[in-house]
Amino acid sequence: MKNFLCLLSAIAVMSASAQQPIGWASENGGTTGGAGGKTVTVKSAADLTSNAKSGGAMIIRVSGKITVDRVDVASNKTIEGAEKGATIDGSLKMGAVKNIIIRNLVISKSTGSFEDVVQMQKTQNVWIDHCDISDKRSSLDGLCDMTHAVNYVTISWTKFSYSSSSASHRFCMLISHSDDNEAEDLGKLKITLHHNWWAENVTERMPRMRFCQVHSFNNYFSSKGNNYCIGAGKKAQVLVESNYFDNVNRPHFFYDNNTTATIKINDDNQYPGCSGDKDEGQGTCFTPSYTYKDKLDKGSEVKDIVMKGAGPQFGVVEVEQLMENNFHIADAGLLPMDQSSITGFTLSGRNLPVSSFNNLNIVPNAVLIRRNGSSVLEINYRD
């Protein structure tokens, strides 16, 4: 059996051990969520809330739509969608906990208490991946706020939006809540944002930040009529690379003309139809300690890549992992969805039956990766 290279075009939910975050969530020991713990499927608010706050590692798979006011998430948890349409209608709160993965979910608050849809305070090592986060209430709040020394976070392939185009406070993401919180925040707030989509009706905070080391790359900004996108405030260090700002106002600027903020950009950010500030400079920006440049897409391609790939994904698999042993792909734990839904797949342009998929083996040292949306192996599912 010969080695071969499989290039895959999108991402589906996988076991926590099969995929790792890019960016700050890969530091400080990494972010594995509930890997190694038991897996449970929940269909009710009671089951979701009790398992999310329980001790020990656990992978919690959300089936259907669960309406709940708030879910408090304890350490060492993965909360992920079990199938297409998996939704938490409520908010997620993470306090002084660590090692959490949230992925492949719609998280949309339509009723309930006035608070952020996703909130982190004092939290460490969080990875939010392939989610769709929105606020549908009449009185809106932030979609994902990170305050009080949150650290080592990656948010990737996630769409942010508001349902109302007229309600106030359509402010998406706040990093550090106050200029007076330097003692707690400075040296923390290390956050990576990549391949996210700031979409309809977001007016500000994509994000707004202080005291941080934030890396924003390959994000798509399309919220027309906004006030600003990236706002760097007191002692913020922001690295802005290969993003696509599409007909928006003030792509990146020094909030309140703060002279202690730093914005470093590369020469591949895209600004079609934009107006207003594109501030840069002022001091020295951090250099990421993690590897990411082999994952950096061209800025001109980001709009198409993110619009196709952001939000929950079911149906096409991407694996970014060096396989060290032979394994049977159907038994490798890479496809948590019901395999009876598989209708077939293509390999190097050849249409193959399901029976071939079930017998496909991957040999040692086969590397399975995505490269700029190209696809050699694509697995197709029924809706």
Would you please indicate which residues are annotated as catalytic (active-site) residues?
205
Cβ–Cβ < 8 Å for 189, 213: yes
Residue closest to 112 by CA, chosen among 94, 88, 144, 129: 88
d(CA 32, CA 25): 9
First to last CA, the chain: 34
Q: Kindly state the tokens that stand for 259.
A: 């002279």
Distance CA 117, CA 110 (A): 10
Longest dimension (CA), the chain: 63
